Amino acid sequence: MTPTHQGRSGRSGHSGRSEGRLTHVDEHGKARMVDVTGKAVTARVAIARCAVRAAPEALRRLPGSDPDPVGTAKVAGVRAAKLTYQLIPLCHPLLLDDLRVEVDRTDEGFAVEAMATVHDRTGVEMEALTACGAAGLSLLMALLPFDPRATMVDLTLWHKSGGRSGTWERRP
């Protein structure tokens, strides 16, 4: 997947957040939802990735259809992204413009990538991460009967763009 908005890139480690203060904590140290009242509505994109790994025998035994584990994982990711604000405390409910979940077979299992897009006053990082995580968990559920050591690893944000902080991309 390729993000639809590109700008400055490669600034690994730069958050663009309020200088040195946590955004989800008030002046008394209590958790709070971020106030987005003064923020501009902009196009925002986030991409998350994870991997699901299992033994070669488990991958060979995984059914290819009915139910299709890859198709089921994609649906799980889309559904989870839509529910992010209900699953993750302090997330704003967002009306997503697009959410794509891609699942590719690898030698070790599966590579999962989720890309979320929205026009709003807050980012879609948590929606992309939630979609990716749910898709990975769905694949893991299909693999565990064949390999109880199967794992989901490296659930990570790889790209975000839009808003005041601009574009950030993780370097491999």
Exposure string over 134-156, b if 16+ CB within 10 A, otherwise e: bbbbbbbebbeebbeebbbeebe
pLDDT score for 66: 60
The pTM assigned to this predicted structure is 0.84
CA atoms lying within 13 Å on the CB side of residue 161: 17
pLDDT score for 39: 87
Tokens for 86, please give them.
């209900």
The CA distance from 51 to 155, in Å, is 7
Tokens for 43, please give them.
């196009």
Before 67, cis peptide (omega within 30)? yes
What is the fold, at CATH topology level, of the domain defined by 42-163? Alpha-Beta Plaits (3.30.70)
Residue type at 158 in one-letter notation: W
Q: Of the candidates 76, 70, 82, which has an alpha carbon nearest to the alpha carbon of residue 127? A: 82
Task: Give the Cβ contact number of residue 8 at 10 Å.
Answer: 13
pLDDT score for 12: 39
Asked if 47 and 167 touch (Cβ cutoff 8 Å), the reply is no
Question: In sequence order, what DSSP letters do the residues of 74-135 get, joined into one string?
Answer: HHHHHHHHHTHHHHSTTPPP---SEEEEEEEE-SSEEEEEEEEEEEESS--HHHHHHHHHHH
pLDDT score for 2: 47
Per-residue pLDDT of the chain (172 residues; tens, 9 = 90+): 544 333 333 433 434 444 566 677 778 878 777 878 888 899 999 999 999 999 999 999 887 656 799 999 999 999 999 999 999 988 999 999 999 999 999 999 999 999 999 999 999 999 999 999 999 999 999 999 999 999 999 999 999 999 888 999 999 8
